[in-house]
Structure 1
């Protein structure tokens, strides 16, 4: 009958790995992760089973933290993409849930199975796949999203779950197995009852944080859509105005030509061209990028901002949706910041050009005195939504979608946003990239 016990332990250890791998984020590709995990955790599981056969359940239960938990913790910490709160919480979650199943089946076999290990084996054979199915079906997707989007509270929850795991392990095994301490069994059963309720409370709390993040993300998207619609509306109004003005321009030109005033007609055409350029703004040949920059240039003009805009792109194919959002969010943040400054301090510059294999974007503007932004993290937005912060998360998402990098920081009283996008993410061939460099980009 001890064979059923040993098989159930091996089954449990293997499914602890499966449950954890369903939830955590490895820094390696899936195939490499599976190979490395099998190479390290397979022998570790076999060693623990051999120790169980040689030293017995009570001895190995007391040494389990040292022989299995700590080695697997160090290994998966090395493998994990997350090195802080999310990893430790995920590890404690998978270990505690699995340990809970193991203890539950141990107690069921001791009190109802006559210690023949058959009930233990059947219970683990059913419960572990059931928990994994529930984790994959209902928990995995939102939990992965939580790890990517929620940055706060992980450390506190990780400490809570680690203490809970230690409490559970100590109560079950020290000074002897809980089955040899029947007077403490009611308290232990209460702890077992509280464990799933505690984890449910933690996960619900984190899910509310996820909903809050989604709401903020939706607000950012609505704000971007609002800005886009405002740009389109203003452009349409300007086009209507141009159509109306063209009638008077045509009448004047017809009169000059009818009177034989050729030189006067030429001068008038030049004046028309200058007026149209100053009203519309021609910053580059790409119509999408030009419309975005022109819209914010007019906003900067209303704020009386000293500005320099240098967009060195041609008619080549660009990911205009992402690039326009990057420019729009960056310039929108600059407008918000500059609007809070005195008029004499309102200065900014926008540069966009190619540099070998990358498209570079830099937006630089004066900021409030004393503002400091660390390159290693995005600045937070205050409650009123003024200053920097709202659009930076959207910029980061667009940059990552294009396999690029971004950094923002403050220097010499200015806020600087630098974006670097590899040309291979939107140019189909190296030949085309070479052609752009040959044209001076």
Structure 2
């Protein structure tokens, strides 16, 4: 979705009617219609609008309790003072022909605290809410978007700017997720280390999604089901070459995609025109590396070596026969692996049952050995450094009320879940 940049410059359209004649303000004084924005066309091709209301001032504590729902009449006054214990109540409403008005967002902002600025912008059948401020002397911003017709989850972006204690330069941390593309990432700036130095480089960690799928798919349908590519993807495609990028001939040679379908179930698709093995040494065969770590990678420092409790463990899965070998960390538990050969013998689907212990970081590597003499290329889901848990993929859990993956036309496809909200309850629930 590229609607974010479009939404930011959508201009105010038309002259707002007087608040006295605005139905959304009826019997809600104090209430002022601030602006009306063109939200583009709905799914039937009819024009929709987003209206912003100012509903006076109230005490911060009362306003915080009311956020996320239509403001009631209690405690609101026409005038207030920014920067005190008072906040300005605002609502954004979606108006679509033939449907009841839908509350998109309600908030109460004092304009001087952690949230300094908040805006809502509509256009191209989307609504984008952006807020920014300063927390502990660090500027921050966050945004949430939603598709308007039908009501579907959009995107989430968070950014924080901070000053390095060692270099005194500004650096950025953040995370993002796009429900339309079903992808996102965590960005971590170099850490300030206790030694007084800064870690040599920052990290960009792609999220590995965990998405609910059809029960029939898990029980056996996966053996006949490919992963949809392009629009409708619900998996992570490995695109980081740890070795031999120049030796990969095309997309059908050493291609790897992965998806978590449960806390302990990993689905893998490997495309390879030539599968090598089994031989006396798994290192010379085509194989997968599965890395698991007990802590979220984005919460780990990259200063110094990890503790023993933070260390990841590695398992090897040989593609030719599905046999599992222990790797780094000498894990005592094993993986349960089922395989299904893809039509045309160009690759395999694998269902991997992970150890029951909870893990918070995961990465997968495909090692391609066309020569049979060791890896010719290695493609990974993250910029993995062996033994470094902070370089693994964090997991993004997609809730069923946000999106699911379902089988369509023989392919596993992502489907966003329509948002079911009461007219007076905000679609965007902000913390």
The TM-score range, normalised by the shorter chain, is under 0.3
Q: What TM-score results when the alignment is normalised by the length of structure 2?
A: 0.28
Q: Normalized per residue, which structure has more helix?
A: 1
Higher relative contact order (CA 8 A, sep 6+): 2
Q: What TM-score results when the alignment is normalised by the length of structure 1?
A: 0.27
Q: Considering only CA atoms, is the larger Rg found in Structure 1 or Structure 2?
A: 1
